[in-house]
């Protein structure tokens, strides 16, 4: 088998459904499998999987084991030569795995591969590629020096700014939302360190790959949506876990000193506070108008009643691309992309191309009864049920 896609879920039932739908399309031409591990969700994630995706292997944990152990359980059951660790709040393109498999097969001494990630509004997620967060690199991040001096190597290492977001190349650290590697190498590394509940596990795994003299890569030729705010609510518990995770990484990999320990503690508290502040939802203005990109005329007539607002209908048979000039002219707009007629790849392309502070996006996944998306990377997404 070529590939096993490992998806660890915890209470994101609708995002999981959309994710699995996109992965199914992406592995259609491959000898591949999907393994979903559920960390004791209290929503109906497992029921949905059993009813809708009976061919997908579902592992139901009786407690929340955290990110590392949950994924390790999934990889242990995998049969593919390669594994892809994938967050449930992601959407992959139909050719994502075909492209990355071809890239991986063409490299020597390969470690872990990541890809270009965007949020639900189309903005690039800089954590798609990062450097090792040494004390100095962490300092440049905490105090914003990477923004002030983006072209200076001394300051731009945290987000690997030596590589453009539209350029493939070697990087040090990749993000756990999408990590692609050979299964044997994952097992050689011992998988994610289960002493870390979450948040520093991807940094640790990437770093241990480097210690094995392997090359990690950022691959820009495929784009994946990562809604990001959906998997984790940034509250007091988040802050405590984030601090613990960073402490875990530094104590494991760096020589300790009084100054270093003091600096890291101050930095972690400050960085965690910033994360908490960023995570608080801001008041949102409702869209002035909605644009439904589809060929479903019946649904286009129902949507105004469901959304309680006017909806412009773009017939997919007549309009091959969303008219960006028209969209930007009508004020705050929400574009709804009907996946029955618009591929996931094209949905991702439209979202990335039309990104604008006045535009939000939702996807109507194929054969589903909801519209889904996220207006911010820092808070939970939105789901509108279609009855």
Report in angstroms the alpha-carbon separations of 158 from 45, 62, 147.
Answer: 35, 37, 10
- Check residue 154 and give its pLDDT: 86
- Check residue 373 and give its pLDDT: 96
Q: Quick one: how far is CA 310 from the chain centroid?
A: 31
Contact 363, 19 (CB under 8 A): no
- Check residue 279 and give its pLDDT: 54
Token pair recorded at residue 29: 């031409």
DSSP letter for each residue of 324-367:
HHHHHHSSSEEEEEETTTS-HHHHHHHHHHS--TTEEEEEE-TT
- Check residue 245 and give its pLDDT: 67
- Check residue 1 and give its pLDDT: 97
Over the Cα atoms of the chain, what is R_g? 21
- Average pLDDT per block of 10 residues along the chain, 387 residues long: 98 97 98 98 97 97 95 98 98 98 96 98 95 80 78 87 96 97 98 85 96 98 88 54 70 69 67 63 76 92 92 76 60 92 96 91 96 86 91
User: Residue 327 burial (CB < 10 Å; 0-12/13-18/19+)?
Assistant: buried
Token pair recorded at residue 80: 């593919």
Q: How many CB atoms lie within 10 A of CB 168?
A: 17
- Check residue 9 and give its pLDDT: 97
What is the C-alpha end-to-end distance of the chain, expressed in Å? 39
Long-range contact pairs involving 262-271 (C-beta distance under 8 Å, separation at least 24): 263/135, 263/139, 264/135, 264/138, 267/138, 267/139, 267/142, 268/242, 268/243, 269/243, 270/142, 271/138, 271/141, 271/142, 271/242, 271/246
């Amino acid at each position: 088998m070529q590939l096993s896609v490992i998806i660890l879920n915890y209470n994101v039932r609708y995002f999981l459904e959309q994710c699995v739908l996109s992965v199914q399309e992406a592995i259609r031409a491959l000898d591949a499998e999907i393994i979903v591990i559920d960390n004791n969700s209290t929503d109906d994630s497992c029921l949905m999987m059993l009813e809708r995706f009976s061919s997908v292997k579902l592992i139901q944990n009786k407690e929340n084991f955290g990110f590392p152990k949950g994924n390790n359980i999934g990889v242990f059951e995998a049969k593919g030569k390669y594994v892809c660790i994938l967050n449930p709040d992601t959407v992959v393109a139909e050719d994502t795995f075909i492209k990355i498999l071809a890239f991986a097969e063409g490299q020597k001494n390969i470690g872990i591969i990541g890809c270009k990630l965007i949020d639900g509004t189309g903005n690039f997620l800089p954590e798609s590629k990062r450097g090792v967060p040494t004390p100095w690199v962490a300092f440049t991040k905490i105090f914003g020096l990477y923004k002030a001096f983006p072209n200076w190597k001394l300051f731009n290492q945290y987000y690997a700014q030596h590589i453009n977001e539209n350029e493939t190349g070697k990087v040090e650290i990749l993000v756990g939302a999408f990590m692609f590697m050979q299964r044997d190498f994952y097992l050689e590394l011992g998988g994610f360190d289960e002493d870390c509940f979450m948040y520093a596990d991807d940094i640790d795994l990437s770093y241990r790959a480097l210690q094995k003299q392997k090359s990690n890569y950022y691959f820009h030729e495929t784009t994946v949506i990562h809604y990001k705010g959906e998997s984790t609510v940034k509250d007091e518990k988040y802050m405590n876990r984030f601090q613990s995770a960073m402490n875990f990484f530094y104590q494991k990999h760096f020589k300790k000193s009084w100054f270093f320990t003091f600096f890291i503690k101050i930095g972690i508290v400050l960085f965690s506070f910033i994360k908490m502040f960023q995570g608080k939802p801001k008041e949102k203005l409702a869209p002035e108008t909605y644009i439904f990109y589809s060929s479903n005329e019946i649904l286009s007539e129902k949507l105004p009643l469901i959304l309680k607002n006017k909806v412009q209908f773009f017939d997919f048979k007549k309009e091959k691309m969303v008219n960006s000039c028209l969209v930007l002219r009508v004020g705050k707009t929400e574009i709804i992309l009907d996946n029955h007629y618009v591929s996931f790849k094209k949905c991702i392309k439209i979202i990335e191309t039309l990104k604008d502070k006045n535009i939000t996006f939702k996807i109507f996944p194929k054969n589903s009864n909801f519209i889904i998306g996220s207006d911010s990377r820092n808070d939970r997404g939105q789901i509108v049920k279609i009855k």
